[in-house]
Amino acid sequence: MSETGFSEQDSDIAVKSQMLVDIAKRAEGGVYIYLILWLVIAMANGLYESHRLLLVFNTALFATIALLRVLHGRIVHRYRADYLAQLLNAFVLLVLINALHWGCLTAYVLSTSGLDELRVPMLLTTTGLVAAGSVVLSIHPAIRALFPSFMIAPVVLVLLSDFTIQNALIAGLCSIFSIYLIVATRTVHNDYWSSVKRGILLEERAREFEELSITDSLTQLRNRMFFDVHFDKEWKRAARHRKSLAILLIDLDHFKVINDTHGHSFGDLCLKETALKLKQVVIRTGDILARYGGEEFIVMLADTTLEGAVELAERLRQAVESIDLANDGQPVSLTCSIGVASLIPASPDKAYRLINRADKALYISKSQGRNRVEVDVDDARS
């Protein structure tokens, strides 16, 4: 699994989802083609008068499959993410049923006396349908292999059952044509899959780069750029809905002394352990914990009162205080000072004021002895 959480399974789902959309779109033009071609051939040869039942039955069957494919297309656009495998299997089934139906119908025409006028048009139409369908739908491996076979096999079997030199020749040509299509469409199939997988890979890489750009490399928390963007959005949302917003500024106490005494590597370890502890406390969806710079962290709490923010701040202070570290056998205690501010934004363009108030409270916490939570008590609106 990548750092973005995009696993091989996710990639496979993304590829199949893209294929379903693409193949359904490619097949849209052929939804009614079987019905239309059948009606043209049948009506042009007077089938309504001579074989009315054959006309009505096959027309109804072609129309039913066409309607099912239209319905399937609509479901794909609405519920693809929830029923991907089922929708993909249903599409393959409908396409292959169409192909087998046409192939069986052509075979019936070839084997039934009184339908001589339909034989040539049906054979010519079959070759056109199998060629077009194989090229257009070959991006799916099952359709690529089975579509020509389902349409041609019934014809070949019927021709060989009434063995003549002419029938054997036509059956042989149909078989060669079917095999040729399966082999020739391999290029289309491979090119499509290479393109899709390359696109999915590029999207995954883009997500990884985006993740890196908004993540602090040392602590693996969100960085200041991420915080600034989302804080501005949340401030404006809170201003629109008249919801309270809280900021907690957290600063490790005496961190410069720790760096000077124990070295920067140990200082980095302190920052990592602090980030881990803070992350275990700030777990509510919508809240943001970020490294704000140096040894300073910041928390944004959406729709949170001052009392709720103070309560969380105290839990964060205790979490940092509980960190157990030692350097060369010498215990090192970590504490932090926290400044808290909360208000209901009255202006969508003055977000900096809330952070300034939290910073003011943090300064008081530092000046009052550190390892404590202090609150800005200015007006609750700005």
Verify that 52 and 154 share a domain, yes or no. Answer: yes
Verify that 44 and 165 share a domain, yes or no. Answer: yes
Helix (H, G, I), strand (E, B) or coil at 296: strand
**Which pLDDT value is given to residue 269?**
95
Query: 349-377: buried (b, 16+ CB within 10 Å) or exposed (e) per residue?
Result: eebeebbbbbbbbbeebbeeeebbbbbbe
Verify that 54 and 154 share a domain, yes or no. Answer: yes
Verify that 237 and 186 share a domain, yes or no. Answer: no
Quick: pLDDT tens for 202-233. Answer: 877 887 888 888 899 999 999 999 999 999 99
DSSP string, 198-243: HHHHHHHHHHHHHHHHTB-TTT-SB-HHHHHHHHHHHHHHHHHHT-
Verify that 153 and 36 share a domain, yes or no. Answer: yes
Out of 134-143, 163-172, 195-204, pick the least confident.
195-204
Positive or negative torsion for Cα 293, 296, 301, 304? negative
Look up the CATH number of the domain holding residue 297.
3.30.70.270
Domain that holds residue 326: 224-375
pLDDT at 133 over 90: no
Verify that 292 and 333 share a domain, yes or no. Answer: yes
Domain boundary among 208, 239, 256: 208
Residue type at position 33: I
Domain boundary among 141, 174, 208: 208
The arithmetic mean of pLDDT across residues 257-262, rounded, is: 91
The arithmetic mean of pLDDT across residues 71-81, rounded, is: 82
2 inside domain = no
pLDDT band at 5 (very low <50, low <70, confident <90, very high): very low
213 inside domain = no
Query: 188-210: buried (b, 16+ CB within 10 Å) or exposed (e) per residue?
Result: bbeebeeebeeebeeebeeeeee
Q: How much is the pTM? A: 0.57
Verify that 179 and 255 share a domain, yes or no. Answer: no
- Distances from the Cα of 33 to the Cα of 23, 190, 212, angstroms: 16, 27, 50
pLDDT band at 3 (very low <50, low <70, confident <90, very high): very low
pLDDT at 197 over 80: no
Verify that 184 and 247 share a domain, yes or no. Answer: no
